[in-house]
Amino acid sequence: MSDLAGPVLDLLDVQVGERVLDLGCGDGRLLASLRDKRNADIQGIELDLEAIKQCLGRGVPVIQENLDHGLQSFADDSFDFAVLSQTLQQVRQPRRLLQEMLRVAHKALILVPNFGHWKVRLQIITQGRAPVTSSLPYEWFDTPNIHFMSMIDVKDLVRNIDAKIVREIPIVAGRAVEKAWWPNLRAESALYVLEQLPVVPR
């Protein structure tokens, strides 16, 4: 996430005092930056104990929790933003987690690898093996990833949960390119800002 900190901060557009929840916050670097630069009210969730220690060393409030268990400890609309970076493909119920993010926060930001990238397709076609790329760097037998989705699949999922994509930024050759052509073929990963669609009374 460190090389994408700029685009993430721009997408979040956090105002002074706004509340940010980072799911799978790692060492807490993003939250610390939001606290220091935007005076944000921050909260992290992390499972790994060593990462939690790093968060605490940065003064980042963090709780140890498994994202597969949902976000039941948080009330509706507890945050302005919920962030999930390179983790959606690792949880058992990604649909449920996105719904939970949009329950506890007004907006959700997700960063996901793109299984539709041309290098992924080429390795499958020419080598007939599980692909290994910069955004999917693990061998099949030791990967934490259990779901593989393209940018098109992400859009389908967002529609399925009655949400909308406010912004989409493909990451092409390590750079954030908002107006990229053929993004599902060229982007190694993509950033999305999501909002829940308003409930239409019947």
Q: What is the number of structural domains in the chain?
A: 1
In the chain, beta strands by DSSP E: 19-23, 41-46, 62-64, 79-85, 105-113, 163-172, 175-176, 189-196
**Would you say residue 6 lies in a domain?**
yes
**Domain membership flag for residue 135:** no
CATH number, domain at 160? Answer: 3.40.50.150
160 CB-contact burial (10 Å; exposed 0-12 / middle 13-18 / buried 19+)? exposed
Residue 22 resides in a domain: yes
Q: Which residues pair with 168 in a beta bridge?
A: 192
Query: CA-CA distance, 50 to 34, in Å (whole number)?
Result: 21
Q: Is 202 part of a structural domain of the chain?
A: no
Whole-number Å distance between alpha carbons of 70 and 93: 9
Host domain of residue 150: 2-113+146-195
98 within a domain of the structure (yes/no):
yes
Return the HEC string of 80-135: EEEEEECCHHHCCCHHHHHHHHHHHEEEEEEEEECCCCHHHHHHHHHHCCCCCCCC
- Length in residues, the chain: 202
Q: How far is CA 156 from CA 24, 168, 184, in A?
A: 24, 14, 13
The mean pLDDT values, 10 residues at a time, for the chain of 202 residues are 59 87 94 93 96 97 93 94 93 96 96 94 93 88 92 97 95 88 94 88 64
Domain membership of residue 166 (yes or no) is: yes
Please list, in sequence order, all residues whose beta carbon lies within 8 angstroms of the beta carbon of residue 17, skipping any fewer than 6 positions away: 39, 40, 41
What's the whole-model pTM score?
A: 0.88
What is the reported pLDDT for 176?
Answer: 87
Per-residue confidence (pLDDT) for residue 190, from 0 to 100: 94
At 7 the pLDDT is 66
User: Do the domain assignments include residue 124?
Assistant: no
Q: How much of the chain is in helix, strand and coil states, percent to nearest 5?
A: 35, 25, 40
Closest CA to 98 of 40, 155, 179: 155
Residue 200 has a pLDDT of 67
100 within domain boundaries = yes
